[in-house]
Structure 1
């Protein structure tokens, strides 16, 4: 049987930030690795991941598109735009024209394209103001998917991700439980659209959520101050200086490989 190829493009969401694994490249695992582990173990698949944290749509186009096309994937996942949405200003119409260009190129090359809507930040005190932009982004994603036959993993509508226990301490990325749930969701979508022969989502162990912590007002204040010092301040500094946490990093898996849970 011919080996199929799964390629992942994008930013920190797809790189796997928040799902710490010190034995892997860039020290993260993530939903895409978890999906690939199932595909490679249960079917004839290979996997590559070009996503790097901090990348904006223009950078994905300039740094990942040509390489990705040369790799001729059967399935390509694309998620970018979150870092653009978080900037003080963003021309979403122009950005999404570029995004559509990525999808069109892969569609014309014969790849099945998997897109994501953005997460609904309605319950996030820090990021709720970006919700209108994300809603516009999502509608553009749906239009692009309709125009080019892409399939959608509808992050916006998966309300279970609003549970804080699925999120890392930086409050911006999913933790290992969130990435595990996302992997299961993606496998369901792939099976629904017959990209995979079977629904292997049940092979992702269901996350066991810890009890919600009940903290005093003093403990909550201490946690808020610690989070602001360790995560918010560096994030703001990077925005002001035009730097990114991914500036010194390379893609985790720039060449196809057979991935397993034990692969480093």
Structure 2
């Protein structure tokens, strides 16, 4: 199996939580890890990643769908809608309708589409309204995947992600090990052989309630409060972030080398994708 994989979506697709200095935007992420495996399986595989953090569903559709379709991909990963659920007045039924319309456009191309459920965290009662939204969207994603023949990676049923080590400090994005496990899960779902080595998960040591209380207070102060403030001010990091791989590359050529070429062009004031049009 070979072809062109195009990844579209938000921070889940961009790779937030999996830092790497030698990759575009300083991030690697599960799609880049998967692309490397595809290149190893067959050097003719091509790959593009249009995902940008903090984007809402409509922004993903408006900014990424047409560029993705214009590449004529054989495979598309589609992950969006999670940021919409964080809105205080989120209309889940409307999110599902718009998600379904976007998915329809993707499957109509004949490409193999990969979709994901959103992980349902074990949360406090304070976050129960959000968890209910996530569950509702997940049910819809499963139904839509079955209806359209899309490949479903059911993240929320991968209960190994209950382990804190698979999450970044913000508890929203996966950690390096989390992204690696997701890359393996997508490769398995597509039937692509891979050499990803997954660490054995070791349960954390039980801690006393005082430690838990201090940890939760620090998390709320350092992660939740700043996020809420940014949302209230309408500030989104994605507004100044560009896609990592805007045109197709051949991962087999070496993704670090290709990233270095992009960085060199940027320092010269040239578009970061100029070096990649040869593909």
Same fold (TM over 0.5): yes
The answer on 1:34 being equivalent to 2:33 is yes
Paired residue for 2:72?
72
Paired residue for 1:195?
none
Paired residue for 1:231?
223
Q: How does 1:132-211 map to 2 (within 5 A)?
A: 132-191=132-191, 199-201=192-194, 203-209=195-201
CA 1:28–1:218 in 2, change beyond 3 Å: closer, same or farther? Answer: same
The answer on 1:247 being equivalent to 2:239 is yes
The answer on 1:258 being equivalent to 2:250 is yes
Structure 2, unaligned stretches of length 5 or more? 260-279
Aligned residues: 254
The answer on 1:58 being equivalent to 2:58 is yes
In structure 1, how many angstroms separate the alpha carbons of the residues matched to 2:30 and 2:197? 13
Shift of 1:224: 3.7
After superposition, give the CA deviation of every residue in 1:33-72 in whole Å (9 maximum; x if it has no partner). Answer: 1111100121131110001010111111111111111111
In structure 2, how many angstroms separate the alpha carbons of the residues matched to 1:42 and 1:13? 24
- Secondary structure in structure 1 of the residue aligned to 2:240: coil
After superposition, give the CA deviation of every residue in 1:133-158 in whole Å (9 maximum; x if it has no partner). Answer: 11111121122222222110011111
Shift of 1:237: 0.9
- Secondary structure in structure 2 of the residue aligned to 1:6: strand
Paired residue for 1:7?
6
CA 1:106–1:226 in 2, change beyond 3 Å: closer, same or farther? Answer: same
In structure 2, how many angstroms separate the alpha carbons of the residues matched to 1:98 and 1:151? 19
In structure 2, how many angstroms separate the alpha carbons of the residues matched to 1:139 and 1:212? 30
Structure 1, unaligned stretches of length 5 or more? 192-198
- Which deviates more from structure 2 when the two are superposed, residues 244-253 or residues 208-217? 208-217
- Secondary structure in structure 2 of the residue aligned to 1:140: helix
- Secondary structure in structure 1 of the residue aligned to 2:5: strand
In structure 2, how many angstroms separate the alpha carbons of the residues matched to 1:211 and 1:143? 33
Shift of 1:230: 2.7
In structure 2, how many angstroms separate the alpha carbons of the residues matched to 1:93 and 1:133? 10
Shift of 1:261: 5.9
Q: Is the 8 A contact 2:118 2:134 kept in 1?
A: yes
Q: Is the 8 A contact 1:85 1:133 kept in 2?
A: yes
In structure 2, how many angstroms separate the alpha carbons of the residues matched to 1:24 and 1:222? 35
In structure 1, how many angstroms separate the alpha carbons of the residues matched to 2:202 and 2:26? 24
CA 1:34–1:159 in 2, change beyond 3 Å: closer, same or farther? Answer: same
- Which deviates more from structure 2 when the two are superposed, residues 75-84 or residues 203-212? 203-212
In structure 2, how many angstroms separate the alpha carbons of the residues matched to 1:74 and 1:151? 13
